[in-house]
Structure 1
Amino acid sequence: MNYWLMKSEPDVYGIDDLKRDRQTIWDGVRNYQARNFLRSMNVGDRAFFYHSNTKPPGIVGLMQVTEANLDDPTQFDASSKYYDPKSTPEKPRWQTVTVEFLEVFPEMIPLDTLRDTFSDDELWVVRRGNRLSVIPVDETVAEKILAIARPM
């Protein structure tokens, strides 16, 4: 099992939306490096749900990959803001995953706490200027995040 961190703006789709829906396709990623990380995901991988573009931003919960290597359907939908006219069903450019809700953490782990706990080599989300919406998380770092999220 691998760990990931996946960002979403809470006013677009937040952890409460995932809790309500139980499962969702993680569509609309249009950065090639983030897409490549999505392509690397496997069923059973865990992902930290990160609320971005909010005050304060931070990790709010945990989800699990239930389907991997899916073609992102929004790339073919001309009415979608994620439409890609260069992408075709025969040669799709964008892949994604389906995730299911696992838990909301009792308290958000704010970005400032993450910066105080991890170096930018350990957890990319603390790097200044990092805009990737999907990033890998080392298992040791993931265990520390879970320990912060679930204090004894």
Structure 2
Amino acid sequence: MNYWLIKSEPNTYSWDDFVKLKRDHWDGVRNYQARNNMQAMKKGDLALFYHSVNEKSVVGIAEVVKEFYPDPTTDDDRWVVVDVVPKEKLKKPVTLAQIKEDKRLENMVLVKNSRLSVQPVRKEEFDIVVGMGS
């Protein structure tokens, strides 16, 4: 199993919006590195759901339920989506500031490249962040 972090602007698409839908495709990614990460996602992988912009915090856990396929929001075949479902809301959000303060997370992609919208997370990092949100 692999672990990921997926970002969304909460005023555009929040965790609560995601939960209401129960399942959705993760679309709109227009960055090659993020796209490549989506192409590496496998069914059953888990992803930290991150509210970007003003909130800058991990708020939940999503599960990949369908591997990549063409993004239905564009005719450009370079872009893909994966299907995800909400698995669990964290009891408390884990802020970017908290993540940056934790020495165990200093090499996390979120700390090194905070702008990347879909990024890999090491299992130990995933477990630490989830623990911080418990």
| TM-score of the two chains, using structure 2 as the length reference | 0.94
Does the CA-based 8 Å contact 2:90-2:130 persist in structure 1? no
Task: Output the CA distance in 2 between the equivalents of 1:69 and 1:18.
Answer: 18
Q: Percent identity?
A: 38
Q: How does 1:2-151 map to 2 (within 5 A)?
A: 2-54=2-54, 56-76=55-75, 87=76, 92-117=77-102, 118-119=105-106, 121=107, 123-127=108-112, 130-150=114-134
**Where in structure 2 are there 5+ consecutive unaligned residues?**
none
Counterpart residue number, 1:81: none
**In structure 2, how many angstroms separate the alpha carbons of the residues matched to 1:130 and 1:101?**
22
Matches of 2:127 and 2:95 in 1, distance apart? 17
SS in 2 for 1:65: strand
Moved over 4 A (4+): none
Q: 1:27 to 1:67 in 2, by over 3 A?
A: same
Q: CA RMSD in A?
A: 1.0
Q: TM-score, normalised by structure 1?
A: 0.83
